[in-house]
Amino acid sequence: MPSSRPLLSVTDLRVTVGGGAEAVRGVSFDVAPGESVGLVGESGSGKTLTCRAVLGVLPPGCAVTGGRVEFGGEDLTAFGRRQWEAVRGARIGAVFQDPASYLNPSLTVGAQLAEVLRVKAGLPRRAARAKAVELLGGMGLHDPARVYGQYPHELSGGMLQRVLIAIAVSCDPELLVADEATTALDVTVQAEVLELLGRLRRERGLSIVFVSHDLAVVAELCDRIAVFYGGELVESGPTEEVLASPRHPYTEALLRVASVGDWGRRTLDVIPGQPPPVGAAVTGCRFADRCAFAADACRQGDIPLSALPEGRAVRCVRASEVALAGAGALMGEAR
């Protein structure tokens, strides 16, 4: 998406866990206004910590030790508590995996949505209620006036996630951060929530940072994709191009284990080995030990993220030599 200036610009972000181990090791990416970017990778790849750093809600013991997170021209990493209050929940909304745990079980969902509208958007009580019902309806919930008066336990997981999305977008944010927001949902509901997010994007010009371990889910929603491995970005670019012709062996490996879209495919590929422990000192490529293409050159020193045409980038010294299979070829293999 062409834009003079990104809405969110993460530059050389570093996050440590427990005071020492570096779990996010110099991650950089931009999100343009109205663009949706997917962060993918295995458990422990640093994708979730990156998104939590963008939200300023790192878990205890984790700290940003370097880099910048610029949002609308301001560096969020320098923000104090008060400044965050004006951004989080207002200009940046967030949804997480388990919606039930983010709602108060003893208040109706409508009261919780209306509270956000009163506190954050400054609406009077009556207007907040009307706007809340309107928002719930806009999330595709049937009979929103009735849903307004219901308690979290009375709603299904998919309905709760719609309520959470309503809260997240209630103050017309410019950016929505969704961390595994559809992972726990049934497949038909997941498809509906992904469509809802796509619609909100189109209607409101919302930017989305979407974190998922599922490449197929990211492919449904995101314009661009950023692949995380061992705390680093190993490949990024437009979703279609990256999936059609991955340039990093790890991206290809992720494609092989994902649901590419052919039910006849019965080979269950796995990625051998385990990712390096968080913060481990590795000379050269962090994926080398699990990579079928690893050579001596891969273990000689730091490997930079190299820019490629079409807005793509890859962190692999052998990117120009190795032949990797894209989604199309993998589907062909199945037949």
Residues that bind another protein in the complex, under the rule CB under 8 A = 42-43, 156-157, 186-191, 194, 213-217, 219-220, 243-244, 253-255, 257-266, 268-271, 274, 327-328, 331
The minimum distance between CB 279 and another protein, in angstroms, equals: 16
Residue nearer to another protein on the CB measure, 114 or 194: 194
Residue 206's closest CA among 20, 36, 11, 12? 36
Buried/exposed code over 72-99 (b: 16+ C-beta within 10 A; e: otherwise): beeebbebeeeebeebbbbebbbbbbeb
Q: How far apart are CA 55 and CA 285, in angstroms?
A: 29
Radius of gyration of the chain (CA): 21
The minimum distance between CB 295 and another protein, in angstroms, equals: 23
The minimum distance between CB 275 and another protein, in angstroms, equals: 10
Residue nearer to another protein on the CB measure, 34 or 157: 157
Q: Count CA atoms within 13 Å of residue 20 on its CB side.
A: 3
Residue nearer to another protein on the CB measure, 216 or 305: 216
Q: Are 179 and 51 in contact (CB under 8 A)?
A: yes
The minimum distance between CB 153 and another protein, in angstroms, equals: 14
> What is the per-residue DSSP string for 235-271?
EEEEHHHHHHS--SHHHHHHHHHS--S-TT-------
Q: Are 13 and 67 in contact (CB under 8 A)?
A: yes
The minimum distance between CB 199 and another protein, in angstroms, equals: 13
